Amino acid sequence: MGQMTEHAARPTTREMATALPGLLRLLWRLVRDPRVDRRRRWLAMGAAAYAASPVDLIPEAVPVLGKADDVLVVVLALRMLLDGADDEVLADHWDGSPEILEGFDDLVGWAAGLVPARLRWAARRMVDR
């Protein structure tokens, strides 16, 4: 995604929360768009299925860590999906303000930065073959 200008206002948490339905529509549209690499789309769909599945690497009964594996998988898949869509594709599918989309991309990037480097490397290797 392109860089925001220095003086552009960052969206508030409330604005991001109210944009959630639009963000979900964007992700659904990207998963269905053939202009986005097929591997990245499959990774995103697999991550959604994994997060919804009751079967996990770490059981949900384990405090904090039980949800952490779901979050790691979803964040990596979102990063890969957004990285695989160029600005034109994102603009075609995004109905909201550019600031909200940029804020979402920044949030996903920040969260992906918390994922261990070895896992990020493995995810990139899966989609960049």
**What is the average per-residue pLDDT within 11-30?**
89
pLDDT at position 4 is: 45
d(CA 17, CA 12): 9
Q: 13 falls in which pLDDT band (50, 70, 90)?
A: confident
Tens digit of each residue's pLDDT (9 = 90 or more) over 68-115: 888 888 999 999 999 999 999 999 999 988 989 998 999 999 999 988
**Is residue 129 a contact partner of residue 39, using CB atoms and an 8 Å limit?**
yes
Q: Which residues contact 20 (CB under 8 A, 6 or more apart)?
A: none
Q: At which residue do the structure tokens 């869509």 appear?
A: 85
Q: Cα separation of 88 and 34, whole Å?
A: 13
- Judged against a pLDDT cut of 90, whether residue 2 lies above it is answered with no
Higher pLDDT, 9 or 41: 41
Nearest CA-CA partner of 110 in 14, 25, 28, 10: 10
pTM, to two decimals: 0.80
